[in-house]
Amino acid sequence: MLSNASAAHEQEFSGEYSFRIDIALHKLSKLARTSALLAGAGLILSGCGPGAPPSGSAHGITVCLVTTSQGVNDHGFNQLALQGAQSTGATVRVIPSRTPDDYLPNLQKCAQTDLTVAVSSQMANPVWHAATMHIERRFLLVDAEPMDDLQATQHLVNVESLFFKAQEAGYLVGALTGILGTNHRPVVDTYIAGFIAGARSVDPTIKFQLTYSDSDDVAACKQIGISQIAKSADVLFEVTGRCAAGYIDAAYDAAAYAIGSDTDLAYLSPAVITSGLKRVDHVVALAIGDLQDGNFKSGAQVYSLKDDAIGYSTPSSVVPQGIINQLMDIRDKIRSGSIVPPDTIPPGV
């Protein structure tokens, strides 16, 4: 079945065909349609993915990472945060959490270290509690800001929140999709905005239909993908979902393509042709380096392609070299500022 699916993927890059895109955005799906004429397949460029985070000299700094319940081998933010911390030379301690109830007590176990690292919005409230109880200690929170018991965002002088211009990653993989086709959560919506802008930058005729779903059930998300493919979808774009495996599996079963988000999801399926990336490892390393230099920054810090914090994973071998070259050119234009991806979804989508 693997060889048949792979062969089907290879064949779809030649000839003229109707191209349709569905996107599951955190619990969400989206649809676009256009027509295309594509020529030949080529070799991939190995340098398109993220590089290694900067090596530092944070010896003497102690860092404590509290994982989410997914654990440190999640192929996601936990694992990247650990790699980033280790790359700096700091002494790193890892405290795994089994359930969300473990977050606050585990954060408190880190109170004697120089920096405590937490990932995901699930830890926003536990970090607020821990940081207010240990105001003399510093905390790093990835993709979220501290939130009090009334669900209000709080600025704390001892908490640095790391955010990413997800619209840049969305623009890149959206442009890839558009190139293939022509030759209410802010973390989610910026991806959507960038994706739409990127796709329309190369094919203004693409139309989108947007639907949100709160499911985190793998089987349910696979059914979303199956339903979208039944409506002639060729590409499924999964954005920050909690059930990516099911959604991407639907693409594999139908010999369709899938695009991941946040981290490289190629390990899930050969259907994944690339993923939009948030380079948590690189940004955590930068934050630890700032702490070592006495430049701890409290509040929200937003990182972008200019900081090497955003990108896309190495495209799979079904993506022609010519398309990869175009994508690299778009990446360079975003980095230089000549292209500025929007962070809001256009009206009417």
For residue 312, the 8-state DSSP code is E
- pLDDT tens for each residue of 241-280: 678 899 999 999 999 999 999 999 999 999 999 999 999 9
Distance, C-alpha 136 to centroid of its chain: 32
- pLDDT tens for each residue of 2-51: 233 333 343 333 322 234 445 543 333 333 332 222 222 222 222 333 34
- d(CA 288, CA 75) in angstroms, rounded, equals 21
Output the DSSP codes for 48-65.
GS--PPPP---TT-EEEE
Residue 108 pLDDT: 95
Q: Count of CB atoms within 10 A of residue 193's CB?
A: 23
Whether residue 86 has pLDDT greater than 70: yes
Q: Is-contact 277 166, C-beta < 8 A?
A: no
- d(CA 75, CA 82) in angstroms, rounded, equals 11
- d(CA 243, CA 144) in angstroms, rounded, equals 20
Q: Count of CB atoms within 10 A of residue 185's CB?
A: 15
Q: Which residues contact 324 (CB under 8 A, 6 or more apart)?
A: 42, 44, 45, 48, 315
Q: Which residues contact 177 (CB under 8 A, 6 or more apart)?
A: 21, 32, 195, 198, 199, 235, 237, 259
From first CA to last CA, the distance across the chain in angstroms is 36
Angle 74-70-98 from CA coordinates, rounded to 5°: 145
Question: Using 50, 70 and 90 to split pLDDT, how confident is the model at 237?
Answer: confident
- pLDDT tens for each residue of 323-332: 999 999 999 9
Residue 59 pLDDT: 67
For tokens 């599951």, what's the residue? Answer: 24
Can you say whether residue 232 is alpha, beta or left, with left for phi > 0 and alpha for psi between -120 and 50 degrees? left
Q: What domains are defined for the chain?
A: 2-46+166-279+307-336 (3.40.50.2300), 62-164+281-304 (3.40.50.2300)
Is the whole-model pTM more than 0.85?
Answer: no
- pLDDT tens for each residue of 295-309: 999 999 999 999 999
Question: Using 50, 70 and 90 to split pLDDT, how confident is the model at 211?
Answer: low
